[in-house]
Amino acid sequence: MLTRASPLADLRIDGARLWASLMELAQIGATPKGGVRRIALTDLDAQGRDLFARWAGEAGMTVRVDPLGNMFARRAGADDALPPVGIGSHLDSQPSGGKFDGTYGVLSGLEVVRTLNDRGIRTRAPIEVCVWTNEEGSRFTPVMMGSGWWCGEFTTEAMYARADVDGVTVGEALRAIGYAGDAAPRMFGAYFEPHIEQGPVLEDADTLIGVVRGALGQRWFDVVLTGQDSHAGPTPMRLRRDAMAACAKITLEINRIANQYPDNARGTVGFVQVKPNSRNVVPGEVRMSIDLRSAEAATLDAMVADFRASAAAAAAEARCEIAIEQVVDFPPCHFAPECVEAVREAAASLGFGAMDIISGAGHDAVYVNRRAPAAMIFVPCKGGLSHNELESADPAHLAAGCDVLARAVLARAGMA
């Protein structure tokens, strides 16, 4: 265990080198507004991967690529038979994405290896820096495709057959950019994913490090309310079948439900389509989305039951029919206590302010955690803004998160 008394107590990564690498990678697919457009399995994605592979080679690592294009850059350990400690994230971006989402996790892993090389530090277990394919899901669904495949959630055949809007499949795109490999998946002894928070909590609390304990479970629903179109004037209130009235009531119920649970519950109605959408017609049909999230499975179940009952009551009150279809069921993720603890202790040993946090979004680490002990490290991003070309982070914050990563990795990999 690494403590203040350890000879490595002054171990620091090179924040300027990390920043320079982030900025160099951000040139690939750079947008005029200062963001990045590097969509999965395009030529630009390949250029980003090639640059990472070159840097990994220069740092003495060997790179393997698996059938989904996931990359694993390996630094040998003193006991190379031990399962590696993984560090990773993704290099693909949203169509109008930022410079730090994903790349920060990958290049932090590279920076840790460069720092260990500079210091001549040998770890007992190997270290593997990973690039997961198609985390963003903007060109091909599902999101987190590479890590989901790695943990056994999706088959190769099913993923290869997924097509983009032009009919190009994942299998074709992987072969076209030369990243359909044949490396067999290997297990990690531990896995860490540093990431910008993509939300406002750390900045709001003026705290440097987020010790990520898990990720919210998500249940998404499509709801169709069917009433009857009728004239807004001649139709008395008691004889209406107003689908919009039911929709409005359900929206308020979703907010009531999410507000009554303390453990990070969220409820959102983000999509509403009203028919016929005319100012003097009682709406006969509404399609709406429901997004419920919580850190605890039992809470999520209770929220869903409450939603179903209150939605049925709201529909009945408006004399409408209701159809509810569940379209996403993603269980809450609880990261491995030993990895979470390694992050917490690393932050404390560096004297950094840290707080526990639950990720509201999905990340590759969530899938990795299904098979191997994993955790994440969050650092603040400006204004909580992400999936935006204006995404920004403080170089000092990025360096601090990478310092935490280095110590957490050493704690789990051991020193030779």
CA distance 139 to 94: 9
The nearer residue to Zn ion, 189 or 380, going by C-beta atoms, is: 380
Contact flags string 57-96 toward Zn ion, x per CB under 5 A: ----------------------------------------
The least distance separating Zn ion from the CB of residue 357, rounded to whole angstroms, comes to: 15
Distance CA 222, CA 156 (A): 28
401 counts as binding Zn ion under rule CB under 5 A = no
| Cβ 101 to Zn ion shortest distance, Å | 4
At 357, list the tokens.
Answer: 């946090």
**DSSP characters for 192-223?**
EEEEE--SSHHHHTT-SEEEEEEE-EEEEEEE
Q: Which is nearer to Zn ion, 67 or 362 (CB)?
A: 362
Structure tokens of 131? 């690039």
For position 403 contacting Zn ion by CB under 5 A, the verdict is no
Q: Closest CB to Zn ion among 103 and 264?
A: 103
H-helix or E-strand spanning residue 323: strand 321-330
What's the min distance (Å) between Cβ of 96 and Zn ion? Answer: 14
Helix, strand, or coil (residue 249): helix
> Strands (DSSP E) along 135-198, which ranges?
190-196
Q: Residue 280: how many CB atoms within 10 A of its CB?
A: 7
Q: Is 102 in the site for Zn ion (CB under 5 A)?
A: yes
Q: Which stretch binds Zn ion (CB under 5 A): 24-32, 53-61, 98-106, 288-296?
A: 98-106
Least Å from the CB of residue 318 to Zn ion: 40
Closest-CA residue to 271 (of 257, 290, 298, 296): 290
Shortest approach of Zn ion to residue 219 CB, angstroms? 22
CB of 363 to Zn ion, least distance (A): 6
Q: Helix H segments across 177-326?
A: 201-204, 243-259, 297-317
The piece of 99-107, 141-149, 173-181, 365-373 that touches Zn ion (CB under 5 A) is 99-107
* Residue (140 or 160) nearer to Zn ion, CB: 140
Nearest approach, Cβ of residue 136 and Zn ion (Å): 7
Q: What share of the chain is helix, strand, coil (3-state, %, to 5)?
A: 35, 25, 40
Secondary element (H or E) of residue 173:
helix 170-176
- Compare residues 29 and 102 and give the one whose CB is closer to Zn ion: 102
| Nearest alpha-carbon partner for 150 in 113, 91, 191, 206 | 191
Nearer to Zn ion, 200 or 414 (CB): 200
- Is omega for the bond preceding 142 within 30 degrees of 0, making it cis? yes
| CB nearer Zn ion, residue 125 or residue 376 | 376
Work out whether strand 71-75 and strand 209-215 pair parallel, antiparallel, or are unpaired: unpaired
**Surface-to-core class of residue 371, CB atoms within 10 Å of its CB (0-12 exposed, 13-18 middle, 19+ buried):** middle
- Give the number of C-alpha atoms closer than 13 A to the C-alpha of residue 377, restricted to the C-beta side: 37
What is the distance of C-alpha 317 from the center of its chain? 39
Q: Are 68 and 58 contacting, i.e. CB atoms less than 8 angstroms apart?
A: no
User: Which amino acid is residue 300, in one-letter code?
Assistant: L
Of 193 and 285, which CB lies nearer to Zn ion in the complex structure?
193
Cα–Cα dist 214/66, whole Å: 27
Nearest approach in angstroms of CB 149 to Zn ion is: 17
According to DSSP, the residues that pair with 268 across neighbouring strands are 291
Q: How far is the CB of 77 from Zn ion (least distance, A)?
A: 27
- Residue 101 contacts Zn ion per CB under 5 A: yes
Binding segment toward Zn ion, per CB under 5 A, in 77-85, 102-110, 373-381, 408-416:
102-110
Q: Is 285 in the site for Zn ion (CB under 5 A)?
A: no
Output 94 or 207, the one with its CB closest to Zn ion: 94
CB of 408 to Zn ion, least distance (A): 19
DSSP 26: T
Closest CB to Zn ion among residues 83, 360: 360
Nearer to Zn ion, 101 or 253 (CB): 101
CB 374, min distance to Zn ion, A = 15
Binding site for Zn ion (CB under 5 A): 101-102
